[in-house]
Amino acid sequence: MSLKTIIDEITAYIRENLHSIQSVQELAAYWGYSPYHFSREFKRLTGFTIAQFMASLKMEISIEQLVKENRSVLGSQLHAGFLSSGTFSASFEKQTGITPKQYQKKLHSLHKVLLDYENCLESRVTSHYEPTGNEEQFYSCCVNLEYPPHGKPGITFVGLFRSPIPNHKPIVGKAMVGDSVCILDKIPPGEYYLLACSVEKNSALKEYFVLKNCLRGRIQEGVRFPTHHRKIFSLSLRPPIDQDPPILVNLPQLLADSIKNRNLQEK
């Protein structure tokens, strides 16, 4: 049986048995494949390795415990399956930009920033650009967003990421309200992964930080610049599926920082 026909079942199984899976060899044997073939096909079909997928799921659980359950940092770490506090804190900060304790402390202030931003009476776009060095040439592309017929789109985040799992700041990102067309500009040469996600307007605090239930759309293959310069992409936002990678980047903090930087530049 082709792995492609059961990839949804495999990713669902990994999610359900995350803490009991001991190795890729064990997982491959369970599904009746050799470890080499299983690992190679999994990455080809999803864009990321099994180890990367499992590590990102554990980090998503830790964020959920901090936000939804208001657990202590240690409790969140252990519940997610991290044995080393040092490893957990370093990995958490690398993927979200701040420490677990800082993350928890900033929840309410960042939630207020989000609600104020999305309840503006006019369309809004805020941009984020990662420092990239001294490139002389930059590129752009257009993203058309299609929303489900029902629902109330609040903030939509669109970004180009260096890897298929959005566990880092995008090289270029936009936070949009009231629009369905996004221009990503000032893109340096390279290969990136295009992802968009949208949180329903006036959602509860947890929905802006634990993004496992938000609408999303992505292009699984990498997009290359200058090859795709001025290309128009279409993303249909949909509910999550099991093979979607967790969205771990701290989008509320990224928006707050971008607004602050813009205000400083306008002074």
DSSP string covering 55-115, please?
A: HHHHHHHHHHHHHTS---HHHHHHHHT---HHHHHHHHHHHHSS-HHHHHHTHHHHHHHHH
- For 55, 163, 196, 234, 236, the CA distances from 144, given in Å and listed in that order, are 31, 21, 10, 5, 8
| Domains of the chain from N-terminus onward | 3-104 (1.10.10.60), 121-266 (2.60.40)
Q: What is the rounded distance in angstroms from the CA atom of residue 132 to the CA atom of residue 86?
A: 29
Q: What is the mean pLDDT of each run of 10 residues along the chain (267 residues)?
A: 91 97 95 96 95 96 91 93 94 93 95 91 88 84 94 90 96 94 96 96 92 95 96 96 95 94 77
User: How is residue 66 written in tokens?
Assistant: 């901090």
Bridge-based pairing state of the strands 139-146 and 232-236: parallel
Q: What does the pLDDT read at residue 79?
A: 93
Please state whether the predicted TM-score (pTM) of the whole model is above 0.75.
yes
Q: What does the pLDDT read at residue 121?
A: 66
